[in-house]
Chain A
Amino acid sequence: ETGVTQTPRHLVMGMTNKKSLKCEQHLGHNAMYWYKQSAKKPLELMFVYSLEERVENNSVPSRFSPECPNSSHLFLHLHTLQPEDSALYLCASSQDGVRFNEQYFGPGTRLTVT
C-alpha cells in the first residue's frame, strides 16, 4: 500500500447506528487530518492531529469523535448522525502539522445517512 488509504470507500448508515471510518498513511508523516466535503460547500477541516497537538474545528458536532492511536492511523467514530452529515469524508496527512507542508489526501469515504 502506498500513500493514504481510507476504508470503507462507501458507507450507508442509519441515524441510530455507530460506525467508524479508518485512515492509514504509509508516507512516514507525523500529522493527519479529517475533512468533510459536502456538495456546493468548501472543504471543511474537522480535526488535525500532530505529534504534540490536536486541533479541532469548534463547529464539529460531538457525534463525530476522532481517534489517533499513532502517527499512521486515524479514525473517525460516528454515532447518532443526521442526514445532513452525508458527505465525502477525506483523510489527509502531511510531514508535520506546520502550515507550509502540503497535504496528501486519501480517496475518501462517501457517507450516506438515511
Chain B
Amino acid sequence: AQKVTQAQTEISVVEKEDVTLDCVYETRDTTYYLFWYKQPPSGELVFLIRRNSFDEQNEISGRYSWNFQKSTSSFNFTITASQVVDSAVYFCALSEADRGSTLGRLYFGRGTQLTVWP
C-alpha cells in the first residue's frame, strides 16, 4: 500500500485562480514529518515546507498555505492567486524512521502536475 496518495494526477487552472493540491498519508508512527516539494521542468525538486506530526497549526507563506489535519491524515497545499510560474509537479512526502535505523527515508506520492494558463 502506498504511504502517500496524491489522487490528483493533473490540474489545470487559469491564472489568478486558487488551487488546492490534496495529499493523504498513511503511517503507524506517532512521530513523523510531512513535506511538500515542487519540481519545475528543470527537474530539480525544491523544498517548500516541513511539518511534524505534533504541530497541526496551519501555515501560510505568501501565496502558499498548508492545511494539516491528523484526523483525516491529510496535508493539503493551497496556492492562492496562481501564476504561470507555479506550473510544476508538486510532490507530497512522508518521513518516518526505518526499523533498526535512525535514518529517515522519504516516501513520495506520485505527484500532481499543475498547469497554470495565462
Contact = CB atoms under 8 A, between A and B. Distances in A.
Interface of A: 31, 40-43, 45, 48, 50, 53, 55, 88, 90, 92, 97-108, 110
B33 A106 contact: no
Contacts, number: 68
Interface stretch (B12-20, B64-72, B99-107): B99-107
Nearest to A3: B44
A43 B33 contact: no
Interface size class of B (residues with CB under 8 A): 20 to 34
Contact of B43 (A48, A88, A100): A88
Chain B contact residues, majority secondary structure: strand
Closest 7 CB pairs of A and B: A99-B104, A105-B45, A97-B103, A43-B108, A99-B95, A107-B44, A108-B43
A41 B102 contact: no
Contacts of B46: 105
Chain A contact residues, majority secondary structure: loop
Contacts of B109: 42
A107 B47 contact: no
Interface in B18-44: 32-33, 35, 37, 42-44
